[in-house]
Amino acid sequence: MTLHPALELMCSFELLVSVPESHTTVVKTAISSYRKAIDEGLLLKLPFTTIFEYLQLLQLVSTAMNCLERHGMFYCAAAVSDFYVPWESMAKHKIQSAGGPLNMQLSQVPKMLFILRNQWAPSAFCVSFKLETDPDILIQKAEAALRKYGMNVVVANELANYKDVVVMVTSSGKTTMSRRSKEDDLEEQLIALLVKMHSDHAKQSNPEQET
């Protein structure tokens, strides 16, 4: 179960809040699961502030997990940022307002999925996400990402209904998953299927070991 940032804050500072009675069980379960994962050492939180810190952490974690080979799994749920200010373009001192209007040119954040998939952890099971506002290009973009970055799965969803419908795109086809009711959590269905796919992936032999 994914813990909402507000619930994480409650756990960190032991805040007392009131929730509707209909949500009490769900909130209690989420908080208990979160605390249990922390206590058992199953959840490692790696905080970062800048895109530079994130990219370094991504490389460190990926290369460290490479030893797991097919048993490793990367669940890249969202891009941290699409654009950034390169280090060499940052001002060394305070920008003076007397200089007039400020023009800033942003650069695209380097696409690291290909490097992760092909260099840092080539045998791992990799899942990425593609979120679009235009349904006409969603599947096309997901299939392009699958080919370009070598992902095992690309989870495609629309901003308008991302909590209700997702399409899992793989090299063997597409699988649409829908939330059965308002009480159901679509993410739980998604995770269950991804766990099965990863299990099947882990049972396969590494090509490097066969040569």
| Whether residue 174 sits in one domain with residue 75 | yes
Q: Both 34 and 112 in a single domain?
A: no
pLDDT of residue 171: 92
State whether 110 and 197 are in the same domain.
yes
Tokens found for residue 108: 């695209």
Is the CA virtual torsion 162, 58, 106, 114 positive or negative? negative
Whether 111 and 133 map to the same domain: the answer is yes
Q: Do 133 and 35 lie in a common domain?
A: no
pLDDT at 5 over 80: no
Residue 10 has pLDDT above 60, yes or no: no
Q: Of 131, 148, 151, nearest to 139 (Cα)? A: 131
- pTM for the full predicted model: 0.77
Residue 31 counted as domain residue: yes
193 shares a domain with 112: yes
- 124 and 62 in one domain? yes
Are 142 and 192 found together in one domain? Answer: yes
Instruction: Give the tens place of pLDDT for each residue, 71-125.
Output: 999 998 877 788 999 888 888 888 888 878 888 889 999 889 999 999 999 999 9
Q: pLDDT by residue (tens digit) across 123-181?
A: 999 999 999 999 999 999 999 999 999 999 999 999 889 889 999 999 999 999 998 88
Indicate if 128 and 200 belong to the same structural domain: yes
Look-up: residue for tokens 């509707």? 20
32 within a domain of the structure (yes/no)? yes
Element containing residue 195 per DSSP (H, E): helix 186-203
Contact 42, 33 (CB under 8 A): no
Average pLDDT of the chain to the nearest whole number:
85
User: 143 and 190 in one domain?
Assistant: yes
pLDDT at residue 1 in the model: 42
User: Is residue 172 in a domain?
Assistant: yes
CA distance 208 to 193: 27
8 A C-beta contact, residue 1 and residue 188: yes
CATH of the domain at 124: 3.40.50.10300
- How many structural domains compose the chain? 2
Residues 193 and 141 occupy one common structural domain: yes
Domain that holds residue 6: 1-45
Q: 13-17, 38-42, 117-121, 143-147 — which is least confidently predicted?
A: 13-17
- 211, pLDDT greater than 90: no
Is residue 108 classed as helix, strand or coil in its secondary structure?
Answer: strand
Query: What whole-number distance in Å separates Cα of residue 62 and Cα of residue 73?
Result: 10
Q: In the chain, what is the straight-line distance between the N-terminal and C-terminal CA atoms, in Å?
A: 40
Coil vs helix vs strand at 116 = helix
Q: Which residues, including other chains, have CB under 8 Å from residue 44's CB and lie 6 or more apart?
A: none
DSSP three-state, residue 8: helix
Sheet with 153-158, strands from edge to edge, namely 73-76, 125-132, 153-158, 165-170, 173-178
Q: What is the pLDDT of residue 208?
A: 52
211 domain-assigned: no
**Does 13 score more than 50 pLDDT?**
no
126 and 191 in a single domain? The answer is: yes
pLDDT exceeding 90 applies to what percent of the chain?
48
Residue 116, phi-psi category: left (phi > 0), alpha (psi -120 to 50), beta (remainder): alpha
